[in-house]
Structure 1
C-alpha cells in the first residue's frame, strides 16, 4: 500500500484524516509525543507512531532519514495564538511563524527525496485565514498566507509532485474551542465544519486521478 505521513495526528483534524486514509494507506502518525498517540493507535492498530517535536530540527532529520518513499505528506500540525497587533509579542510572532511555516518547510524539504521517488502528494492544511485576514488574527493569518506562498513555490519547483492547499473554514476541534473561549463566546459545535468533512475532502484530493492536479480547495461554513 502507499504510505502517508500525517502531522498533528493525535486528535482533531489530523486524527480524522488518519481514519479516512487508513483503509488505503500505511500510516505514519506524527505528534509531539508517543503518549499523545495512544488513543488513535488503539483505534488504528496498523498505523506506525512517528513522535517528534517538529521544531526540533535535528530530531526531525533523524526521524525522516529512514523514510525512503512517501506517497502522501499531510502537513496538518500547527498553532493558533491570536491577539491584536497592539497586544502581540515578539515571542508570539516567532512561535506562530516557526510552527506554521518554518517547521513545515523544513519537514517538507527533508522528505523531498522520498516524495520524489514516488511522485508524491503534499497536502497543506491551511485555513480560511490564509485567504482573508481579520482583526485579531495578525500572526496566525500572516503564517497561513506564508504557508500558501510556500505551497505555490513548492508546486513550481517540484513539477513531479502534486501540492494542494486546503483552506477549511472554522472547524469543530479543540483548537477552535480554545479560540472561541478566547473570544469570550459560547461554543456551539453545530456552527462549525466537522473534522470528518475536511478529512473527506483530503481523501478526495488524494484520489484525484493523475491526469489532474488539484492545487487549492476551499471549504466554507454553511
Structure 2
C-alpha cells in the first residue's frame, strides 16, 4: 500500500511556489497541496519550518532569489515543472522625493529581475511539462499610486515580462494575477507605515486569492487565463 501511495505521489504535477513560507505563499501551498508535489521556496530553511510541519509531504527549497549562482544550483535537479508560482517579493514604499537608488535597485531586483532569471533557468523544466507560470502581480501593476512608485514600476515591468513570455513560449500558459491589498503580515506593516488602524475586513483574504490561483491552474487546457484582477468588496 505504501509503495502504491508513493507511486501515486510521484505522478502528481510538481509546483514550485516562491515565498511559500507565510502569508499568501503559504495559502497557495495549502490550496495546491492535495493535487501537487510542492517545492516551497523561502530565503532560509528556518522560514519554511512552520509550513513544512503543516504540509509534511512538501519539500523545502530555501534559496536567496537574488543570489543567482545559488539559484542556478538549486534549479539544477528540477527536470520537469508543471507549475511555477512567483509569489516572493518586497514592498519598500515611499515617495519619489524620499526614494533612493538603493530602494529602486532592491525593489526592481527582488520583484522583477529575480523573477525573470528564475523563469529563464526553469524554462527547460517548464517546457518539458507544457507548464504554467503564475505571476503574483498587484493592482499596482495596473495603476500606480502616490508613494508606491518603485513598487509599481516593478509590477508594471512584471506584467510586461508576462506578456513577452506568453508570446515567446506558446507551449506554456502564463497568468498574471492582480489582487488588491491582501490581509497579510506585510499588509499590516504597510498600514502601520501609513499611520492607520488595521482592519482586516478591508482586504482580500489570502485563501480567496489562493483559490483563484488554483482555479486558474486547473482551467482546462483549451483555455489560457492570461490576466485575473481581484478587488476587495
TM-score class, shorter-chain normalisation, is over 0.9
Instruction: Give, in whole Å, the separation in 2 of the partners of 1:180 and 1:132.
Output: 19
- Name which of 107, 117, 126 aligns with 1:96: 107
Of the three residues 63, 77, 80, the one matched with 1:52 is 63
- The runs of at least 4 aligned residues of structure 1 exceeding 6 Å deviation read none
What is residue 38 of structure 1 aligned with on the other side?
49
Q: Report Cα offsets for 1:16-59 as digits up to 9, x if no partner.
A: 00000000000000000001100000000000000000000000
Whole-angstrom distance in 2 between the partners of 1:165 and 1:138: 20
Pairing 1:7-18 to 2, within 5 Å after superposition = 7-18=18-29
Q: 1:189 aligns with which of 159, 176, 200?
A: 200
> Do structure 1's residue 157 and structure 2's residue 168 form an aligned pair?
yes
CA distance in 1 between counterparts of 2:118 and 2:192 reads 31
Q: Deviations over 1:99-154 (max 9, x none)?
A: 00000000000000000000000000000000010010000000000000000000
TM-score by length of 1: 1.00
- State how 1:47-196 maps to structure 2 within 5 Å: 47-196=58-207
- Give the alignment's Cα RMSD to 1 decimal: 0.3
Q: How many residues align?
A: 222
User: CA shift at 1:208, angstroms?
Assistant: 0.2
Unmatched 5+ stretches in structure 2: 1-11
1:221 positional shift:
1.1
